[in-house]
Amino acid sequence: MLNGHHFSMVSSQTQSSSCHQCSKTINTKDAFLCTNCNSHVHKSCRESLPVCAKVKMKSPRQQFAVPDSATIPVVTRRPKRGLNPGALRERPWSAILSPEDHSSLVVPSRRHTSIIPFPGSNLSKSISISNIAGHQVFDDMPIKGLRYLSHSTDSLCKTNLVNESTESLTDEGTEMIDSQLMGEFEEDLKELEADSWSNVMNSNFLKHLKKDVIKRQEVIYELMQTEMHHVRTLLIMMEVYSKGLVKELQLEPQTVDRLFPALGELLDLHTSFLTRLLERKRESQQEGEDGGFIINKIGDILETQFSGTKAAIMKRVYGKFCSRHNEAVNIYKELHSKDKRFQAFIRKKMSSSIVRRLGIPECILLVTQRITKYPVLMQRILHHTKENEEDHEDLSDALYQVKEVITAVDSKVNEHEKKRRLKDIYSRTDSKSIMRMKSGQMFAREDLLRGRRLLYDGPLQLKNSQGKLKDVTAMLLSDIVVFLQEKDQKFVFASLDQRSTVLSLQKLIVREVANEEKGLFLITAGMEKPEMVEVHTATKEERNTWMQIIQEAMQSM
């Protein structure tokens, strides 16, 4: 026995499960089960698992009694049905696409560099969600391919609760247990603790329901449950971290705002959404069914949330929050590496019974990911809703609207990233570098930012009169194409046989190079002596991309 647990090796399992200690997947060869509390753990996690909940509830005179002064987080295993108000169990990871579907959705693109990370991506890296937001992708998404995702909101926002815990979260000794954090949602949090909707309902009642009805209720339940956890994450960011940094560390409010941009608006937005979902749940409560409920209509709430004024707010606040994801994480890393008081603050908060080791970067990532979860959940609800049902049309409209919201957020993220990229190139450009354009106008470093927007950039090669290729960085701005080369770790305007490497888009001609699938000509027309610059890309596809975006930029002038 270890910590009161009586472990036995599980010889067979019908499917993989998650470890109650580290939350990672357990395979059949490494699975151990506590016969007292039904906790599944890895072999290596047995010793670190908290004291067995079943033993803890025994008399203090027994062998594994817990001293009154101890504050030990308890992870309990629920029975299949019914609610246990004494403890909240961690939810299993919510469902999204299988790895195969995931790879088909997220296609790396040099044209898109937004920083909304897909679940499971590294905190310091970023990818575009434009492919996720595309209507065709969601319309064709296979429902059968849905599986459990790692690092989802409901798995990282652990809702394990110890009611007797009095751990202080501030230097003044103010207590804040989970019920105080969730406030008006405390009772609903207990009602949504079960693994699934079926586990809440009476088994006799379930026998009379059709399979599609049960599956639909399961997804609606998951929507409400994950929204509850999302609000909890936002509350942790606001009440524990944001307010704590200002009150306990006297951190500048401007710095805290950069760590948690638009946090107040996000919290208001999702609190009101969760309130409407829970009101609908209470309206759908079944009499005489031990608190069970069947929600027949949910599309109207979803349509309201993702259209009109609500959608406009969501586009703005998520656009701001997701655009500054990398900046916020970098601020956190800088503070954590230089400020010992900040390090101590983070250690204290992460060890509390509320936060459950959910750090600031993880909170930021979870909030950034949340908006990408709605289309998957909504499509699954729609899949189990008949076309002749009243809710079908509202759900279809809501699904379309949420994709529009994600597309708008993605656009804002890309716009912000391009501004940052242009400023970065500007800061690396030699202030003394200058180039004469074909028109005779002088172009200096300062002209890069003078009312111009970065549309696209990337490495290319320029071909000189001797046929040699020179590596350069090309930038397509709103009215010009600029070629830069590195010199002494700085950018300067590229030199090319006395020809200008700053080309105006006005009257520019773009042509393919004959017998060269990776080359294109940029010809400055409208002059007495037109000049031609030959450019080479790494692949044929990249050449076609450059030609397309240059022509689009010329048409939009």
Q: What is the pLDDT of residues 242-295, one digit of tens each?
A: 999 999 999 999 999 999 999 999 999 999 999 999 999 988 876 555 557 889
Q: Both 94 and 220 in a single domain?
A: yes
In angstroms, the CA 314 to CA 278 distance is: 20
Burial of 156: CB neighbours in 10 Å, binned 0-12, 13-18, 19+: buried
Q: DSSP H helical segments within 109-195, as ranges?
A: 130-133, 135-139, 153-156, 178-182, 186-191
Tell me what pLDDT residue 179 has.
62
Q: CB neighbours (10 Å) of residue 354?
A: 24
Tell me what pLDDT residue 471 has.
95
Asked whether residue 448 is assigned to any structural domain, the reply reads: yes
Tell me what pLDDT residue 37 has.
75
Percent of the chain with pLDDT over 70: 71
Asked whether residue 410 is assigned to any structural domain, the reply reads: no
Which residues are CB-neighbours of 283 under 8 A, at least 6 positions away?
none
Q: Both 151 and 230 in a single domain?
A: yes
Which residues are CB-neighbours of 327 under 8 A, at least 6 positions away?
258
Q: For the ranges 50-54, 304-308, 535-539, which has the lowest average pLDDT?
A: 50-54
Q: Both 383 and 279 in a single domain?
A: yes
Q: Both 313 and 442 in a single domain?
A: no
The highest-confidence range among 64-78, 98-112, 406-420, by mean pLDDT, is 406-420
Which residues are CB-neighbours of 112 under 8 A, at least 6 positions away?
128, 130, 410, 414
Q: Both 277 and 170 in a single domain?
A: yes
Q: Both 51 and 114 in a single domain?
A: no
Is 176 a residue whose pLDDT tops 90? no
Amino acid at residue number 118:
F
Tell me what pLDDT residue 139 has.
42
Angle between helices 390-428 and 360-383 (to 10 degrees): 150
Three-class secondary structure assignment of 284-322: CECCCCCCCECCCCCHHHHHHHCCHHHHHHHHHHHHHHH
Q: Which residues pair with 483 in a beta bridge?
A: 474
Tell me what pLDDT residue 231 has.
94
Is 134 a residue whose pLDDT tops 90? no
Tell me what pLDDT residue 379 has.
96
In angstroms, the CA 223 to CA 128 distance is: 24
In angstroms, the CA 73 to CA 414 distance is: 42
Amino acid at residue number 534:
E
Q: Both 117 and 220 in a single domain?
A: yes
The structure tokens 């295993």 sit at: 77
| DSSP calls for 61-108 | TSTTPPPTT----------SSS--TT--PPPPPPEEE-HHHHHHH---
Is 208 a residue whose pLDDT tops 50? yes
* Mean pLDDT, the chain, integer: 77
Amino acid at residue number 257:
D
Picking from 525, 550, 524, the residue whose alpha carbon sits closest to that of residue 537 is 550
CATH number at residue 529: 2.30.29.30
Q: Both 342 and 459 in a single domain?
A: no
CATH number at residue 40: 3.30.60.20
Q: For the ranges 123-127, 237-241, 334-338, 450-454, which has the lowest average pLDDT?
A: 123-127
Would you call 164 helix, strand, or coil by DSSP? coil
Q: Which of 70, 105, 125 is the last residue of a domain?
A: 70
In angstroms, the CA 233 to CA 227 distance is: 10
Helix (H) or strand (E) holding 363, with range, is helix 360-383
Picking from 342, 373, 166, 142, the residue whose alpha carbon sits closest to that of residue 249 is 342
Q: In what order do the strands lie in the sheet with 7-9?
A: 7-9, 31-34, 40-42
The radius of gyration computed from the CA coordinates of the chain, to the nearest angstrom, equals 28
Q: Both 440 and 530 in a single domain?
A: yes
The highest-confidence range among 29-43, 100-114, 492-506, by mean pLDDT, is 492-506
Q: Which of 46, 70, 94 is the last residue of a domain?
A: 70
Q: How far apart, in Å, do the first and last CA atoms of the chain sit?
A: 75
Record the tokens describing residue 512, joined without a space: 């393919």
Tell me what pLDDT residue 178 has.
64
Q: For the ranges 161-165, 253-257, 334-338, 387-391, which has the lowest average pLDDT?
A: 161-165
CA angle at 432 for the pair 428 and 436, rounded to the nearest 5° = 105
If one counts the domains in the chain, the total is: 3
Helix (H) or strand (E) holding 422, with range, is helix 390-428
Q: What average pLDDT does range 14-25 have in this prediction? A: 65
**Is the Cα dihedral 500, 502, 503, 506 positive or negative?**
negative
In angstroms, the CA 496 to CA 105 distance is: 41
Asked whether residue 168 is assigned to any structural domain, the reply reads: yes
CATH number at residue 151: 1.20.900.10
In angstroms, the CA 31 to CA 9 distance is: 6
Asked whether residue 42 is assigned to any structural domain, the reply reads: yes
Beta-strand pair 502-504/480-487: antiparallel
Residue 95 vs residue 382, higher pLDDT? 382
Range of the domain at 465: 434-555
Tell me what pLDDT residue 522 has.
95
Record the tokens describing residue 49, joined without a space: 């698992």
Is 416 a residue whose pLDDT tops 50? yes
Asked whether residue 399 is assigned to any structural domain, the reply reads: no
Q: Which of 16, 36, 70 is the last residue of a domain?
A: 70
Counted residue by residue, the chain has a size of: 557
Q: Both 364 and 223 in a single domain?
A: yes
Tell me what pLDDT residue 82 has.
37
Record the tokens describing residue 499, joined without a space: 């020809």
Asked whether residue 373 is assigned to any structural domain, the reply reads: yes
In angstroms, the CA 452 to CA 502 distance is: 14
Q: What average pLDDT does range 330-349 have in this prediction? A: 95
Three-class secondary structure assignment of 52-72: CHHHHCCCCCCCCCCCCCCCC
Q: What average pLDDT does range 285-308 have in this prediction? A: 83
Q: Both 333 and 369 in a single domain?
A: yes
Asked whether residue 406 is assigned to any structural domain, the reply reads: no
The number of helices, as runs of H, and strands, as runs of E, in the chain is: 19, 17
